[in-house]
């Protein structure tokens, strides 16, 4: 029997460490028995494999693309058969998801990977991938009748949460590290009406304070330890596979910060294979900035046995995270898909960002670690020239214009030269030369036609 019966009756919570299956989650979304993270699982899919027919699902999801219904128009809720059930009256949607998959011809040449695409999650309503998880988690908070939602953030989560809270008539509390988030992201939280607290600490310090706060106040925690966030974020991978006509790429590459996104994409891949929506798993690789590399060290130095928290530092402020909450989930995904973990320097990130920009796409610095990481994975032979690769770009270029302008003016590393940036390593001369080639500083001229023609001629000679 072909059916697309919804999963509403079959989603359960389970602890990723001790396997406990509580009926509901506490305020901190951690297991009451052992304190580890919870996740959703769908027992019905195993007990009743015919419950969801892959062909019927694919055609249902495709048909919804032409629907006028708000939930069908969302690139998250469109895939609701694979998500826990939230009644429609609680759904808060900004038509998130539905993000483009672009070819990257210039980056393909630079990496020697011909079949190279970027799934641009920065093309979401608040310009980052956070919206796909936030629509779902904010809706669950609404269903739980919370009047306040809260998060600790490096900027994007707070922008997204503030927007969805406003749409759902809820108040939002944002804890961000003072001076370490981009103006673009801060301004969004303000505009969407959040109570924004800039704390004199880093992201990890904000997380600590928030976890104490949710035990004392009736606020709904919307960081990615909230398993509803992970469920919503799964849909980016489902949508990607739909865009690729359900033909899995060989590799998917994501940035790693708090490691919620990699966990979500990996969870979706494993579930899609379980449900026979795809026949094989792409390798999911996770890239960190060298100055914020606790997960890289966890895998490479400690064989995945422990994560040693660190004081993180990188100009890619979105991933300036030293104690990622979801490291065990991400580790499981790495193992399940056979992916790799890599780290990249500040200079490599800046060059990669400019290269993605030069392809006419653009992204924020944290997203560019994916291309920088791909170059390393090519050099190590992990990614082969004939293989297909999808980079997940997590944030829009306009999130952090300061970084971009400083790069093009050549003063990004002033004061903190790349070598001087903690964990940046030895500056690579070839990379530095490449950075110079990519820099396009604005030219200040007299308001004079001849001066402009002179600039045009000079640019033509140098091109
Ligand atoms: N890229 C961007 C643009 C981000 O904002 C983040 C995380 C990541 C990548 C890393 O994703 O944490 O799921 O591994 N930003 C969070 C925030 C932490 O608060 O906005 P992750």
CA 199 to centroid of ligand 1, rounded, Å: 18
CA torsion, points 407, 412, 414, 418, in degrees to nearest 10?
-110
Rounded to 5°, the CA angle 65-68-72 comes to: 50
Q: Which residues pair with 304 in a beta bridge?
A: none
Instruction: Give dist(CA 257, CA 289) in Å, integer.
Output: 9
Q: Which two tokens stand for residue 169?
A: 């008539």
CA-321 nearest atom, ligand 1? 18
Instruction: Give dist(CA 269, CA 336) in Å, integer.
Output: 10
Instruction: Give dist(CA 384, CA 379) in Å, integer.
Output: 9
CA-256 nearest atom, ligand 1? 14
Ligand 1 interacting residues, C-beta cut-off 6 A: 128, 130, 153-157, 224, 255-262, 318-319, 364, 366-367, 394-395
- Pocket probe for ligand 1: among 37, 99, 118, 154, the residue whose CB has the most ligand atoms within 8 Å is 154
Output the CA torsion sign for 438, 444, 447, 453.
negative
Q: Which residues pair with 285 in a beta bridge?
A: 253
Using CA atoms, how far residue 403 sits from 72, 409, 447, in Å, is 37, 10, 28
- Pocket probe for ligand 1: among 319, 368, 372, the residue whose CB has the most ligand atoms within 8 Å is 319
Instruction: Give dist(CA 34, CA 14) in Å, integer.
Output: 12
Could you tell me which residues come within 8 angstroms of residue 47 by beta carbon, excluding any fewer than 6 positions away?
A: none
Contact 292, 369 (CB under 8 A): no
Q: Which two tokens stand for residue 435?
A: 């950075």
CA-261 nearest atom, ligand 1? 13
The DSSP line for 260-293 is HHHHHHHHHHHHHHHTTSSSSPPEEEEEEEGGG-
User: Nearest to residue 168, comparing CAs of 147, 150, 185, 189?
Assistant: 147
CA 394 to centroid of ligand 1, rounded, Å: 8
CA 49 to centroid of ligand 1, rounded, Å: 34
User: Nearest to residue 227, comparing CAs of 267, 270, 269?
Assistant: 267
Instruction: Give dist(CA 412, CA 228) in Å, integer.
Output: 37
pTM of the entire predicted model: 0.95
Q: What is the pLDDT along the chain (463 residues), one digit of tens a residue?
A: 344 555 444 899 999 999 999 999 999 999 999 999 999 999 888 666 667 899 999 999 999 999 999 999 999 999 999 999 999 999 999 999 999 999 999 999 999 999 999 999 999 999 999 999 999 999 999 999 999 999 999 999 999 999 999 999 999 999 999 998 999 999 999 999 999 999 999 999 999 999 999 999 999 999 999 999 999 999 999 999 999 999 999 999 999 999 999 999 999 999 999 999 999 999 999 999 999 999 999 999 999 999 999 999 999 999 999 999 999 999 999 999 999 999 999 999 999 999 999 999 999 999 999 999 999 999 999 999 999 999 999 999 999 999 999 999 999 998 654 434 444 444 578 888 999 999 999 999 999 999 999 999 999 998 8
Rounded to 5°, the CA angle 402-233-3 comes to: 155
**Cα distance between the two ends of the chain:** 62
CA-260 nearest atom, ligand 1? 13
CA 227 to centroid of ligand 1, rounded, Å: 16
pLDDT at 416: 54
CA-254 nearest atom, ligand 1? 9
Contact 308, 394 (CB under 8 A): no
User: Nearest to residue 406, comparing CAs of 329, 353, 341, 331?
Assistant: 353
Using CA atoms, how far residue 370 sits from 120, 426, 431, in Å, is 12, 20, 16
- Pocket probe for ligand 1: among 225, 229, 257, the residue whose CB has the most ligand atoms within 8 Å is 257
CA-264 nearest atom, ligand 1? 13
DSSP run (H or E) holding 197: strand 195-199
CA 157 to centroid of ligand 1, rounded, Å: 7
CA 258 to centroid of ligand 1, rounded, Å: 7
């Amino acid at each position: 029997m072909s059916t697309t019966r919804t999963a509403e009756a079959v989603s359960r919570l389970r602890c990723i460490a001790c396997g406990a299956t509580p009926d509901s989650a506490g305020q901190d979304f951690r297991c009451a028995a052992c304190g580890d993270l919870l996740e959703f699982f769908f027992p019905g899919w195993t007990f009743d494999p015919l419950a969801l027919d892959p062909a019927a699902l694919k055609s249902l999801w495709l048909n919804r693309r032409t629907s006028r219904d708000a939930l069908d128009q969302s690139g998250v809720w469109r895939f609701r058969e694979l998500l826990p059930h939230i009644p429609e009256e609680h759904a808060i949607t900004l038509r998130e998801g539905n993000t483009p998959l672009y070819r990257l011809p210039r980056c393909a040449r630079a990496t020697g990977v011909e079949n190279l695409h970027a799934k641009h999650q920065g093309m979401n309503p608040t310009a980052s991938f956070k919206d796909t998880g936030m629509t779902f988690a904010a809706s669950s908070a609404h269903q739980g009748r919370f009047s306040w939602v809260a998060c600790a953030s490096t900027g994007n989560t707070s922008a997204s949460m503030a927007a969805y809270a406003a749409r759902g008539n809820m108040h939002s509390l944002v804890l961000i590290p003072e001076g370490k988030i981009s103006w673009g992201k801060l301004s969004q939280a303000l505009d969407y009406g959040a109570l924004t607290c800039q704390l004199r600490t880093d992201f990890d310090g904000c997380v600590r304070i928030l976890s104490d706060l949710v035990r004392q106040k009736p606020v709904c925690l919307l960081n990615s330890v909230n398993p509803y966030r992970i469920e919503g974020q799964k849909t980016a991978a489902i949508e990607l596979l739909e865009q690729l006509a359900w033909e899995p790429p060989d590799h998917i590459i994501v940035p790693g910060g708090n490691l919620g996104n990699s966990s979500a994409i990996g969870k979706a891949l494993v579930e899609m294979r379980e449900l026979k929506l795809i026949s094989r798993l792409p390798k999911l690789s996770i890239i960190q900035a060298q100055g914020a590399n606790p997960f890289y060290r966890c895998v490479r130095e400690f064989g995945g046995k422990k994560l040693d928290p660190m004081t993180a530092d990188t100009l890619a402020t979105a991933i300036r995270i030293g104690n990622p909450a979801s490291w065990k989930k991400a580790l499981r995904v790495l193992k399940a898909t056979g992916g790799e973990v890599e780290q990249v320097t500040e200079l490599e990130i800046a060059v990669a960002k400019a290269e993605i920009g030069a392809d006419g796409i653009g992204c924020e610095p944290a997203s560019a670690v994916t291309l920088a990481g791909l170059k390393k994975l090519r050099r190590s032979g992990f990614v082969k020239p004939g293989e297909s690769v999808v980079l997940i770009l997590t944030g829009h270029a306009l999130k952090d214009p300061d970084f971009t302008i400083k790069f093009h003016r050549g003063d990004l590393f002033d004061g903190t030269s790349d070598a001087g940036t903690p964990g940046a390593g030895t500056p690579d001369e070839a990379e530095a030369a490449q950075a110079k080639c990519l820099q396009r500083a604005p030219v200040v001229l007299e308001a004079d036609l001849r001066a402009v023609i002179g600039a045009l001629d000079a640019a033509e000679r140098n091109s």
